[in-house]
Structure 1
């Protein structure tokens, strides 16, 4: 059954109850994607941990560091197909918790951002279900994946299917096996022509892709797969190929990702149903902001192309989803180039980030400000020609964050 919603109170930065609604697969590429963005230490990984907290044989223990001191107890609510499940503290000030109504048949496969594993391991095999039952929330954020090595034996038995998916991301056809040392330890062996090397010499990027493909290859339609920072250790070309794979799988599965990479914020996917989330912590606790239907309609309008600025939501503009407050929206790309030069000449510093390469014209500025408000931005400035002020739709500007609007009479 699909995971519709999560509510979090008292876990790490969540001093007040926050909720997040997930996208549901709709048969479209990207339709089942939920993309979680935000600056470092905003609380993105905490959401991933909360999704993992319901897994495992036993109820998790919420350590003193995992409990928000202002609340000192944790309550996490999950909604699957209209049915509520809860994981919550037994009492305030206690590490121990209990599960209420948790259905183990509702599988949520969570892959942490730290995807290294012990290169030498013992023999064992974990099905997808066994892996989930043995992979609950740990007391500390580990630098290693637990139990992943046991998944490798399952992968080996289904290597053809696994490699077919792996090749969609890697540019070469991988050849690998599991071997055993004379000391009895098992290890991965990779072949490169006539030569081979062990898992101890695997690059972090290959290890990461291996783990991500493992989360997908034996999944079933309707499953939920959560991946924290899928872009880690991957160069841009591999990031784009990997996102294409996740987008493909999100047709009939829920794919939830937390990311710092603009390559994983895909406008066409959002227009087809993907959810865009921005997580913020301004020092008063973690807050979750989610793109509304009105902003989707604005995004549709702005993303259709503009002969004056075809990159309104290009790669540079998408970087704003990972930034703190302080955004300046200007009309066009020449403004993005010239205003910093003017500031240099005046020995001034612009303590803000420009929105991409401009809004693509003054009429778009109000709509972009509305879009930014939806995602929780509070400090937004706009600079436009004085004779263009009347072109900003007032209904969009009235709903925008409180912003400073500078209207120079002319721009040299």
Structure 2
């Protein structure tokens, strides 16, 4: 098999040849979500012209473009793509959807977007020790090499004008249509992470299901590894504040905003990501009134409630009652032509409920999806901001 130096090919102007190589290298492709969101990408203290993509809750970057930006070398064969830095390297095997780091093999999903082979940005962090930050409130992805001088907030402030101009271009774009039989559903878990989060994730993995976790900052600080796992495995991270104490959270619009900001910082510290998704303690009605929403949502956050209440917090020992209630409510919501958004809690009792719910809904053809940052919010106020 003839070996191919991709960077040399690119320098000789072989654009068509290179694109053909990359298209071949990406087969078989990963099945893509119904929508993919393009995001601007920064490197150290500057915005680049590269577009990252948020696909099914995971951040991806284009292999060729990012390798040039980060001064990595891409070479190898169509069967084995070698991505190398000065000290480390990794072999990507698209046909097996794996990567080889020395003798260690790990799963690595890739796909082709507009002729570009896309790789998870987490590969750059795990193999080459680049820093990765994602601020969904802007939104922007930033890769750092250690030579950056600006904090993430300062970088965002410096780039705000360009990011605002680009905002209209980062909306969700349609991809492959889902089958007509597809029935999406959003499972959400409040009040975590807890000592039971990893068990919840184990159950979700058994049914190839994803969920959105609206987490408290104090829990994030206590269980950072669970947060890292849920983010890395394609689940979505949301915010639930810091205290979950009504009189503290709802003391004023400013106090509500401050709790969400602190929660987001805790998330960033634990997992290197930020999010725009929020759910307020006890739901948004009746306390999260217009003045609160104006204050918090103007900061870029997006408010989510639910339309299916499991009441798993109330009936912690009557598991069958919770299961029947959830399934009955979902059936009603579906008949109305509405996507179910299910409220559950990150707690021990839910471990006894979740398997039966997932088994039944899977058999009925539901697909368990994460709430995307740009999705139209479902909340009790019908506030679509």
TM-score normalised to the size of structure 1?
0.27
- Greater helix share, structure number: 2
TM-score normalised to the size of structure 2?
0.28
- Greater strand share, structure number: 2
Greater relative CO, 1 or 2 (CA 8 Å, sep 6+): 1
